[in-house]
Amino acid sequence: MAYENRSAAYNLETFSDNAAKKLPKKKQKTEQQKKTKVVTLPQEALVKIRRRKHNPFKLFVGTVASVAITAIVGAIIIGQVQLTELNQQIITAEAELKNAQSTYTQRQMSLQADFTTNDIEKFARENLGMSKAENAQKEFVSLSQGDKAEISEEANQNFFQRIINAITGLWS
Q: Is residue 47 part of a domain?
A: no
Q: Is residue 100 part of a domain?
A: yes
Rounded to 5 degrees, φ, ψ at 129 are 70, 30
Q: Is residue 89 part of a domain?
A: yes
Number of domains in the chain: 1
pLDDT digits (tens, 9 = 90+) for 4-33: 555 556 666 666 655 455 555 555 555 555
Q: Is residue 85 part of a domain?
A: yes
Range of the domain at 103: 73-129
DSSP H or E segment with residue 61: helix 56-114
Q: Is residue 106 part of a domain?
A: yes
Q: What is the rounded CA–CA span in Å between residue 159 and residue 10?
A: 139
Q: Is residue 27 part of a domain?
A: no
pLDDT in tens, the chain (172 residues): 455 555 556 666 666 655 455 555 555 555 555 566 677 778 887 777 777 777 889 999 999 999 999 999 999 999 999 999 999 999 999 999 999 999 999 998 888 777 778 888 888 888 888 888 787 777 777 766 666 666 666 667 788 888 888 888 787 6
Q: Is residue 29 part of a domain?
A: no
Whether 165 and 157 have beta carbons less than 8 Å apart is answered as yes
Q: Is residue 64 part of a domain?
A: no
